Amino acid sequence: MRASRGMPPGSAPSERFRVFLRENAAFAPAPGVPPDQERGAGPRGATGASGALPAPARGAHMAQRLEFARTKRVSERPVRDSIACAYDRWSQVYDVDANATRDLDALVLRAQSSEFKGRDVLELGCGTGKNTEWLALYARQILALDFSDGMLDKARARLDGVERVRFVLHDLRQPWPVEEASRDRVLSNLVLEHIEDLRSIFAQAARVLRPGGSFLLSELHPFRQLQGAGAKFVRPEDALVEPVRAFLHDVSEFASAGFAAGLELRMLEEWRDAGAERASVPRILAMTWQKPA
């Protein structure tokens, strides 16, 4: 499309638009007209001697084309993932909600402090930074990823000024913005229930880990999911319970994904609530995978 010429510098927007239409209407296909009839190929009775549509019709058609282009651009804007949107809302109350799974997961992580001393750590799904804050006491550097703006806002505020920690907005289902063999530890806490394809996560972990590095994960136990448990929260604005979309992964799926990525299973534990009976279903499934040296 040509740039408009001969437009008075101080002309009003409506006048500039009319000039724009006059100079460019001939280049705009008419809606509903086959491509071979757009310019000079239609019946003479409809288009006139030159084959072009009359000027008023061309102007109307151009306006329609501009409106179509505008609405098309709007419709093609990416739609935010429903899980990320749910965590945006949850971020307002995540740290203060009663959450036995979150609290037990924190204990599982803190039992492994020796894994992180002086290490370069990649944290997957860092959320509000509750675990990141603890990791920063031990790790050399931390790159923390999450796809929720709301969660990252809380995390950045929590660790404001901590130079060894960097937060990045990123969807873990896309290739990670991390160099190959650049991390000693990859950490995932209560994240993988929201990822449908576990193999892609394990493959990425194997790629970014240095030889001898470890992938530590702590997830809601699939037995709990079979009982109907899952991520959910009470929305502060209307007190309604909002479940967060999740996927059920059997223990064998975790094992298959890890072995397929060339990792070695170093630890597997199942954690129950404090004081829970032995016959009760575990709440947390914890695994440590290692990349061969």
Find the helix packing angle between 82-90 and 149-158, rounded to 10°. 40
Given a cut of 70, whether residue 12 has pLDDT beyond it is no
The mean of the pLDDT values for the chain is 83
Say if 8 falls within a structural domain. Answer: no
Say if 1 falls within a structural domain. Answer: no
Same domain for 149 and 43: no
Same domain for 209 and 233: yes
Q: Report how far residue 109's alpha carbon sits from residue 209's, in angstroms, rounded to the nearest whole number.
A: 19
CA distances from 231 to 92, 110, 221 (A): 15, 22, 12
pTM above 0.85, yes or no: no
How many independent structural domains does the chain possess? 2
Same domain for 283 and 247: yes
- For 161-184, what is each residue's pLDDT tens digit? 999 999 999 999 999 999 999 999
Q: Report how far residue 210's alpha carbon sits from residue 232's, in angstroms, rounded to the nearest whole number.
A: 35
Same domain for 223 and 93: yes
For residue 40, give its domain range: 13-75
Of 75, 99, 121, at which residue does a domain stop? 75
- For 221-278, what is each residue's pLDDT tens digit? 999 999 999 999 999 899 999 999 999 999 999 999 999 999 999 999 999 999 999 9
Say if 5 falls within a structural domain. Answer: no
CA distances from 9 to 1, 12, 200, 209 (A): 21, 9, 56, 60
Q: Report how far residue 229's alpha carbon sits from residue 190's, in angstroms, rounded to the nearest whole number.
A: 13
Same domain for 135 and 200: yes
User: Tell me, what's the pLDDT at 106?
Assistant: 97
Given a cut of 50, whether residue 25 has pLDDT beyond it is no
In 62-182 the beta strands, taken as DSSP E runs, fall at 120-124, 141-146, 165-169
Of 75, 90, 122, at which residue does a domain stop? 75
Given a cut of 60, whether residue 154 has pLDDT beyond it is yes
Residue 71 pLDDT grade (very low, low, confident, very high; cuts 50, 70, 90): very low
Q: Report how far residue 6's alpha carbon sits from residue 15's, in angstroms, rounded to the nearest whole number.
A: 12
